[in-house]
């Protein structure tokens, strides 16, 4: 919850900042500086705004990138690995790498509680999404399922129960019904 509030605060701050920048640019456009001032230093104020925006951007980058899912549990060994092949309009899941010629699909995937698990997600046709939702229908983590790439997604489930997987990329006529689930025990 705390993190949600922090993210909301971050978004609101960014919105206020952007509004302020727009207001500044708008007001300077309405009231251009006198000619002599303009000739002496035509871009000084806007240059300052650009530098300021660049600094804000770099600071936000440094604050948010370490929190991105790519580094989640990167120094831990996953207790279980699940291979996921997305395909219009379903997910194949297995504890072993999936051989498309004779796939061995797990119909009831079970994952351990409070231990890091890893999903290795790819697609066999078009780009799909792979979003994991808890029992309250809150999105916990997500990645894309892309043909030709394997995206690794690590997570530690702290509540037992059923989790739903939904596609988050519009992938065709059956997109809305593309879903799966697994259990955490």
Nearer to Cu ion, 88 or 94 (CB): 88
DSSP state of 126: S
Q: Which stretch binds Cu ion (CB under 5 A): 25-33, 58-66, 100-108, 166-174?
A: 166-174
Compute CA distances 167 → 1, 70, 90, 98, whole Å.
25, 20, 9, 20
Nearer to Cu ion, 72 or 90 (CB): 90
Q: Residue 173 Cβ, how far from Cu ion at the closest point, in Å?
A: 10
Q: Name the residue among 114, 127, 106 with its Cα closest to residue 76.
A: 114
Q: Judging by beta carbons within 10 Å of its beta carbon (0-12, 13-18, 19+), is residue 178 exposed, middle or buried? A: buried
Work out whether 175 is an interface residue with Cu ion (CB under 5 A). Answer: yes
Nearer to Cu ion, 49 or 124 (CB): 124
CA 13 to chain centre: 20
Q: Residue 103 Cβ, how far from Cu ion at the closest point, in Å?
A: 20
Q: Name the residue among 103, 65, 95 with its Cα closest to residue 78.
A: 95
Q: Residue 89 Cβ, how far from Cu ion at the closest point, in Å?
A: 7
Residue carrying the six token digits 């297995």: 94
Token readout for 3 is 């993190």
Binding mask 120-159 for Cu ion (x = CB under 5 A): ----------------------------------------
Q: Which stretch binds Cu ion (CB under 5 A): 27-35, 40-48, 107-115, 168-176?
A: 168-176
Enumerate the β-bridge partners of residue 85. Answer: 92, 122
Q: Which stretch binds Cu ion (CB under 5 A): 61-69, 107-115, 143-151, 160-168?
A: 160-168
Work out whether 165 is an interface residue with Cu ion (CB under 5 A). Answer: no
The only residue of 171, 180, 182, 184 in contact with Cu ion, by rule CB under 5 A:
171
Q: Name the residue among 96, 114, 115 with its Cα closest to residue 105.
A: 96
Work out whether 86 is an interface residue with Cu ion (CB under 5 A). Answer: no
């Amino acid at each position: 919850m705390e993190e949600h509030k922090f993210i909301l605060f971050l978004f609101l701050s960014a919105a206020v900042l952007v509004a302020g920048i727009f207001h500044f640019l708008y007001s300077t456009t309405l009231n251009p500086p006198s000619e002599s001032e303009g000739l002496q230093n035509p871009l000084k104020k806007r240059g300052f705004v650009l530098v300021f925006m660049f600094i804000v951007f770099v600071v936000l980058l440094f604050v948010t990138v370490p929190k991105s899912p790519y580094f989640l549990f990167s120094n831990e060994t996953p207790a279980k690995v699940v291979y996921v092949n997305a395909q219009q309009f379903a997910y194949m899941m297995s504890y072993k790498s999936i051989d498309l010629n004779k796939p061995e699909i797990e119909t009831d995937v079970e994952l351990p509680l409070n231990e890091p698990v890893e999903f290795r997600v790819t697609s066999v046709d078009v780009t799909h999404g792979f979003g994991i939702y808890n029992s309250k229908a809150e999105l916990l983590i997500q990645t894309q399922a892309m043909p030709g790439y394997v995206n690794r997604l690590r997570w530690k489930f702290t509540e037992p129960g059923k989790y739903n997987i939904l596609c988050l990329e519009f992938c065709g006529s059956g997109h809305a019904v593309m879903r799966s689930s697994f259990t955490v025990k």
